[in-house]
């Protein structure tokens, strides 16, 4: 079958997207936890940085010198930026002194504020998709945070008194804003310091983060108690935020203990809706000890895992599959990624896992999982449609935008990946029609693969993975 014919076939498959979106309104309750924060985005140029250094009489020797990748002084913040600028790379450094946080707020400022953190992004997406009641956990929810939630009656958190309230209207005045400064820079820009010129080779960003609560997985007690009540009925619980933990935190506590405490708490949340689905969005977890504890301890309780290519490789590294991790890193494609998924599936025994990669979404699950292959395919197609709308328009803040990409054809990139995956599955398990149907089943596993819609010049890619994973699961009905 030609690619032209295949695109027409997949266009027909994708026609289920509007009906799947409507079905999301049948979901009575969903919890999104744990991390929401404020992303303060600003584009700066070299002249601006030069002026900041001069006007604040910063010590140049500390800015151009070596040091730890953390921010304890004003000079550290500029040093981190300069390192990323001159290498054209992205890094995130933590702000450890509140005085530096205040200085950045006054001195650097921002162009715009946007929702940050997987928990916050997922909550906004689920609410605009029509889930009846979306409960979002906020370690901190002053006005600066709350105003980033969509102004929707079905998007809820807890207020100062511990009562459920509309998230966008909550103002816990004593809470501290948790801000991640995303400082962007352009290729070719220059910074002149002490007659040395630093030229940026690639557009990128430096992230300076003041987030003392999410970095220790702080959990709001009022929220936790409310989610344990019998009238919440969370049909879905979507977890994220563990990626910010470290093996040992600054106060001496252990990241593993934080994970275990959350695991016990979530067990209480699930009692009111024992048939619910618990999904963990893995995210980029830098601390290997935390990453391994997540896989060895928390994953045994979850029904579904979500990850991208990098996060899949990160998991392989902590389950003793270093050779396969290297193979995947050297050649990232649907075939190597599927080999990796099979190993993770075998190791964790997690009943469902989904990979979102460029051009293709891929779900691997146990035979007979409560969400059927066809339901999964329909949910993944809805996710691809909504993700394309986000990329093409820049925001999915209103329901009328969600199906903006309906009728767009799937990409050649996705069909190429799917064709190669079909060949691999044929070699491993026998003949199949994955390229035409996106579904393969045998007596042990179910594989669902969907080529996606790609937008040539995306307005934004922020929060794309969280959008894909959550809609793929909750839209699979």
Is residue 62 a contact partner of residue 75, using CB atoms and an 8 Å limit? yes
Helix (H, G, I), strand (E, B) or coil at 112: strand
Tens digit of each residue's pLDDT (9 = 90 or more) over 352-375: 999 999 999 999 999 999 999 999
Give how far Cα 42 sits from Cα of 79, 98, 103, 184, 267, Å. 17, 20, 15, 6, 40
- d(C-alpha 116, C-alpha 11), whole Å: 33
Give how far Cα 328 sits from Cα of 104, 131, 388, 425, 434, Å. 39, 36, 26, 17, 22
Model pLDDT, residue 199: 97
| Sequence-separated (6 or more) residues with CB below 8 Å from residue 17 | 378, 381, 382, 385, 403, 406
| Sequence-separated (6 or more) residues with CB below 8 Å from residue 154 | 127, 130, 131, 132, 133, 134
- d(C-alpha 166, C-alpha 141), whole Å: 12
pLDDT value at 462 more than 90? no
What's the whole-number mean pLDDT along residues 272-281? 94
- d(C-alpha 279, C-alpha 370), whole Å: 14
Give how far Cα 65 sits from Cα of 69, 205, 338, Å. 12, 20, 44
pLDDT value at 137 more than 90? yes
The percent of the chain in helix, strand and coil, each rounded to the nearest 5, is 45, 20, 35
- d(C-alpha 156, C-alpha 154), whole Å: 6
Closest-CA residue to 464 (of 409, 396, 407, 406): 396
Tens digit of each residue's pLDDT (9 = 90 or more) over 287-339: 999 999 999 999 999 999 999 999 999 999 999 999 999 999 999 999 999 99
pLDDT, greater one: 74 or 70: 74
pLDDT value at 250 more than 90? no
State the DSSP code for 53. Answer: H
pLDDT value at 45 more than 90? yes
Model pLDDT, residue 242: 95
Model pLDDT, residue 87: 93
Closest-CA residue to 237 (of 297, 280, 295, 283): 280
Model pLDDT, residue 176: 87
What's the whole-number mean pLDDT along residues 24-40? 96
Query: Based on C-alpha coordinates, what's the Rg of the chain?
Result: 23
What's the whole-number mean pLDDT along residues 447-471? 93
Model pLDDT, residue 317: 97
What's the whole-number mean pLDDT along residues 228-237? 94
Model pLDDT, residue 274: 87
pLDDT, greater one: 1 or 191: 191
| Sequence-separated (6 or more) residues with CB below 8 Å from residue 213 | 139, 140, 176, 178
Model pLDDT, residue 457: 87
pLDDT value at 458 more than 90? no
Tens digit of each residue's pLDDT (9 = 90 or more) over 150-191: 999 999 999 999 999 999 999 999 998 899 999 999 999 999
Model pLDDT, residue 252: 94
What is the DSSP annotation of 304-363? Answer: EEEE-HHHHHHHHHHTT-HHHHHHHHHS-SHHHHHHHHHHHHHHH--SEEEEEETTEEEE
What's the whole-number mean pLDDT along residues 56-77? 94
Chain CA centroid to CA 396, Å:
16
Model pLDDT, residue 92: 87
- d(C-alpha 255, C-alpha 197), whole Å: 42
Handedness of CA 462, 463, 468, 471 (dihedral sign): negative
pLDDT band at 36 (very low <50, low <70, confident <90, very high): very high
Name the β-bridge partners of 45. none
Model pLDDT, residue 284: 86
Helix (H, G, I), strand (E, B) or coil at 251: coil
Residue 26: burial class (beta carbons within 10 Å; 0-12, 13-18, 19+): exposed
How confident is the prediction for the chain on average, in pLDDT?
95
Strand arrangement, sheet containing 304-307: 164-166, 155-158, 134-136, 30-33, 236-239, 277-281, 304-307, 352-357, 360-366, 445-451, 439-441
Give how far Cα 219 sits from Cα of 35, 127, 242, 259, Å. 9, 22, 12, 11
Model pLDDT, residue 349: 97
Residue 173: burial class (beta carbons within 10 Å; 0-12, 13-18, 19+): exposed
Model pLDDT, residue 85: 95
Is residue 139 a contact partner of residue 38, using CB atoms and an 8 Å limit? no
């Amino acid at each position: 079958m030609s690619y032209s014919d295949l695109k027409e076939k997949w266009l027909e498959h994708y026609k289920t997207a509007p009906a799947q979106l409507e079905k999301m309104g049948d979901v009575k309750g969903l919890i999104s936890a744990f991390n929401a924060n404020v992303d303060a985005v600003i584009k700066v140029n070299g002249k601006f940085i030069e002026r900041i250094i001069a006007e604040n009489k910063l010590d140049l020797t500390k800015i151009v010198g070596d040091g730890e990748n953390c921010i304890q002084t004003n000079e550290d913040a500029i040093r981190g930026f300069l390192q990323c600028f001159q290498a054209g790379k992205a890094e995130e450094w933590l702000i450890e002194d509140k005085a530096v946080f205040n200085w950045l707020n006054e001195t650097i400022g921002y162009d715009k504020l946007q929702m940050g953190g997987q928990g916050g992004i997922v909550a906004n997406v689920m609410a605009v998709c029509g889930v009846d009641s979306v409960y979002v956990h906020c370690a901190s929810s002053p006005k600066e945070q709350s105003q980033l939630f969509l102004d929707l009656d079905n998007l809820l958190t807890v207020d100062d008194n511990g009562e459920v309230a509309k998230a966008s209207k909550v103002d816990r005045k004593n809470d501290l804003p948790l801000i991640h400064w995303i400082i962007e820079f352009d290729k070719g820009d220059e910074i002149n310091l002490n007659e040395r010129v630093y030229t940026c080779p690639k557009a990128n960003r430096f992230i300076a983060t003041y987030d003392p609560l999410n970095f220790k997985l702080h959990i709001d007690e009022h929220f936790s108690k409310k989610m344990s009540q019998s009238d919440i009925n969370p049909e879905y619980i979507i977890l994220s935020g563990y990626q910010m933990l470290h093996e040992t935190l600054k106060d001496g506590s252990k990241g593993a203990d934080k994970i275990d405490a959350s695991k016990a708490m979530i067990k209480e949340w699930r009692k009111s809706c024992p048939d619910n689905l618990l999904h963990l969005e893995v995210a980029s977890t830098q601390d290997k000890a935390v990453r391994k504890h997540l896989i060895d301890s928390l994953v045994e309780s979850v029904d579904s895992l979500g990850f991208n290519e990098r996060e899949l490789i990160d998991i392989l590294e902590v389950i003793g599959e270093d050779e396969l991790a290297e193979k995947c890193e050297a050649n990232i494609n649907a075939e190597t990624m599927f080999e990796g998924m099979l190993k993770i599936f075998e190791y964790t025994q997690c009943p469902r896992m989904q990979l979102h990669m460029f051009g293709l979404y891929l779900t691997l699950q146990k035979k007979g999982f409560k969400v059927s292959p066809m339901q999964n395919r329909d949910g993944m197609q809805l996710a691809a449609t909504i993700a394309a709308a986000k990329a093409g328009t820049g925001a999915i803040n209103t329901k009328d935008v969600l199906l903006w990409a309906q009728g767009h054809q799937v990409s050649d990139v996705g069909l190429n990946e799917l064709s190669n995956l079909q060949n691999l599955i044929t070699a491993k398990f026998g003949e199949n029609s994955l390229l035409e149907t996106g579904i393969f089943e045998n007596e042990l596993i179910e594989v669902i693969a969907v080529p996606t819609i790609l937008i040539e010049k995306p307005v934004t890619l922020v929060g794309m993975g969280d959008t894909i994973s959550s809609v793929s699961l909750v839209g699979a009905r």
